[in-house]
């Protein structure tokens, strides 16, 4: 790691991670491992091992209500209890917004409000999310921004034969953009859509309904299920047109993944996608919502336009670690 920053042991919080496949849990483990590689005296703990951690030991946690409890209320109890025992800094994910719906939006607002009030430092993954915290009446205090990093892979010069499908990457759940991608693909005359992933927990029925709807529109849907890195690299390279179409977004690991694998996805314009396009120029093709079908048609006819050809791309994991180390030293000074 270049430009290593060394900070005192007392400044570094213990990095709390969760097991399992949840995207936030995976990301927390990745960042924690990178921090330990940069600062060997850094420590990692798990939720199950928290009881053995001496009280008042600083802790950093990655937070979304769905990772911390079966309900926002249960998650609130868990996080505020943690903050009562340990000075807590947090990275917030899945910030509440309009798409949460009338029932869940106020409950999620209350959870994030309780967490930010109980914490001594708050990080989000985009300026967009920082604004969401203010717009949703959750928190208007200091918030640091550490973007989701992208560690790109070197893409072979020869691209494989594509499968003539529109691809949507990541877990399937309502609001992820599959409906918009389907409508645009059908309008553009493409007859295949690939879901690169599986249904999010509790949404298998929604995925089945989506596949039936697509069939009625003349579009066949392939669901790859979970893919390891090698399988994902192969499938991502074979998609004809990569698409990011969800309009309500906190931060998008799917967008980071497309870019990391060398693709330049079509991304429906919103505040977050605009921000990421500015952070990593020429790695995203921004599209107005009503122009997605035309953009898919154009991209299908111009395959090179769906590859960005950059390696590395701006702001990788080493940059994220440096940002966290600087921030922790400021928050605890």
pLDDT digits (tens, 9 = 90+) for 125-144: 999 999 999 999 999 999 99
Indicate whether 104 belongs to any domain.
yes
Tell me if 320 sits within 8 A of 32, measured CB to CB: no
Task: Say yes or no to pLDDT of 4 above 60.
Answer: no
**Residue 320's closest CA among 264, 226, 266, 256?**
256
Indicate whether 3 belongs to any domain.
no
Task: Report residue 1's pLDDT band, with 50, 70 and 90 as the boundaries.
Answer: very low
Indicate whether 54 belongs to any domain.
yes
Residues 180 and 133 in one domain: no
Task: Say yes or no to pLDDT of 28 above 60.
Answer: yes
How many CA atoms lie within 13 Å of 43's alpha carbon, on the beta-carbon side? Answer: 15
Indicate whether 1 belongs to any domain.
no
Write the CA distances from 51 to 24, 47, 48, 77, integer angstroms.
22, 8, 7, 16
Task: Say yes or no to pLDDT of 173 above 90.
Answer: no
pLDDT of residue 157: 62
Indicate whether 125 belongs to any domain.
yes
Residues 141 and 43 in one domain: yes
Residues 109 and 75 in one domain: yes
Residues 119 and 200 in one domain: no
Q: Residue 202 sits in which domain range?
A: 166-306
pLDDT digits (tens, 9 = 90+) for 180-191: 999 999 999 999
Residues 127 and 202 in one domain: no
Residues 186 and 253 in one domain: yes
Residues 273 and 184 in one domain: yes
Residues 223 and 321 in one domain: no
Indicate whether 154 belongs to any domain.
no
How many CA atoms lie within 13 Å of 139's alpha carbon, on the beta-carbon side? Answer: 27
Task: Report residue 90's pLDDT band, with 50, 70 and 90 as the boundaries.
Answer: very high
Indicate whether 267 belongs to any domain.
yes
**CATH number where 23 lies:** 3.40.50.2000
Task: Say yes or no to pLDDT of 9 above 90.
Answer: no
- Over residues 88-115, mean pLDDT: 93
Give the global pTM.
0.91
pLDDT digits (tens, 9 = 90+) for 255-306: 999 999 999 999 999 999 999 999 999 999 999 999 999 999 999 999 999 9
Instruction: Say which DSSP state 155 is in.
Output: P
Indicate whether 16 belongs to any domain.
yes
Q: Count up the domains in the chain and report the number.
A: 2
Residues 242 and 326 in one domain: no
């Amino acid at each position: 790691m270049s430009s290593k920053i060394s900070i005192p042991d007392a400044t570094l919080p213990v990095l709390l991670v969760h097991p399992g496949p949840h995207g936030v849990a995976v990301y927390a483990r990745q960042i924690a491992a990178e921090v330990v590689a940069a600062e060997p005296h850094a420590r990692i703990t798990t939720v199950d091992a928290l009881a053995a951690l001496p009280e008042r030991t600083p802790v950093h946690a990655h937070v979304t209500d769905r990772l911390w409890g079966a309900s926002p209320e249960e998650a609130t109890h868990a996080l505020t209890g943690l903050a009562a025992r340990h000075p807590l800094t947090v990275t917030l994910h899945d910030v509440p917004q309009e798409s949460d719906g009338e029932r869940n939006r106020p409950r999620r607002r209350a959870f994030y409000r309780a967490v930010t009030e109980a914490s001594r430092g708050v990080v989000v993954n985009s300026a967009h999310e920082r604004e969401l915290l203010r717009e949703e009446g959750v928190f208007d205090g200091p918030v640091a921004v550490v973007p989701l990093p992208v560690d790109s892979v070197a893409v072979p010069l020869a691209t494989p034969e594509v499968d003539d499908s529109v691809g949507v990457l990541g877990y399937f759940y309502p609001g992820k953009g599959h409906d918009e991608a389907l409508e645009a693909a059908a309008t553009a005359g493409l007859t295949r859509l690939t879901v690169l992933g599986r249904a999010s927990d509790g949404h298998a029925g929604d995925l089945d309904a989506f596949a039936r709807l697509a069939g009625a529109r003349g579009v066949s849907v392939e669901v790859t299920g979970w893919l390891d890195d090698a399988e994902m690299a192969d499938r991502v390279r074979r998609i004809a047109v990569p698409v990011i179409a969800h309009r309500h977004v906190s931060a998008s690991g799917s967008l980071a993944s497309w870019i990391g694998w060398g693709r330049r996805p079509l991304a429906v314009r919103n505040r977050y996608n605009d921000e990421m396009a500015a952070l990593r120029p020429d790695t995203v093709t921004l599209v107005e919502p009503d122009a997605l079908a035309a953009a898919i048609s154009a991209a299908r006819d111009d395959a090179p336009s769906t590859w960005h050809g950059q390696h590395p791309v701006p702001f990788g994991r080493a940059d994220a670690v440096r940002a966290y180390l600087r921030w922790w030293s400021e928050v605890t000074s």
